[in-house]
Amino acid sequence: MQPLIEAFFDTPTNTVTYLVADPATGTAAVIDPVHDFDPESGEVDTASVDRVLDAAAARGWNIAMVLETHAHADHLSGAPLIKERTGAWIGIGEHIRDVQKIFRPVFNLTDLTPDGSDFDRLFADGERFALGELEVEVMHVPGHTPADIAYRIGDAAFVGDTLFMPDYGTARADFPGGDARTLYRSIRKLLSLPDDTRLFLCHDYKAPGRADYRWETTVGAQRRESVHVHDGVSEDAFVAMREARDATLAVPRLLLPSIQVNVRAGRLPEAEANGVRYLRIPVKARTA
Q: Tens digit of pLDDT for each residue in 39-98?
A: 999 999 999 999 999 999 999 999 999 999 999 999 999 999 999 999 999 999 999 999
Q: Looking at residue 143, what is its pLDDT?
A: 98
Q: Looking at residue 284, what is its pLDDT?
A: 85
Q: Looking at residue 285, what is its pLDDT?
A: 86
CATH architecture of 4-261: 4-Layer Sandwich (3.60)
Amino acid at 257: P
Of the candidates 137, 171, 178, 130, the one whose C-alpha atom is nearest the C-alpha of residue 155 is 137
| pTM strictly above 0.75 | yes
Spatial distance between the Cα atoms of 146 and 56, rounded to a whole number of angstroms:
32
What are the residues facing 44 on neighbouring strands? Answer: 37
Q: Looking at residue 1, what is its pLDDT?
A: 81
Q: Report domain extents, the chain.
A: 4-261
Task: Give every residue of the chain whose pLDDT is below 50, as ranges.
Answer: none
Q: Looking at residue 286, what is its pLDDT?
A: 81
Q: Looking at residue 283, what is its pLDDT?
A: 92
Task: State the Rg of the chain over Cα.
Answer: 18
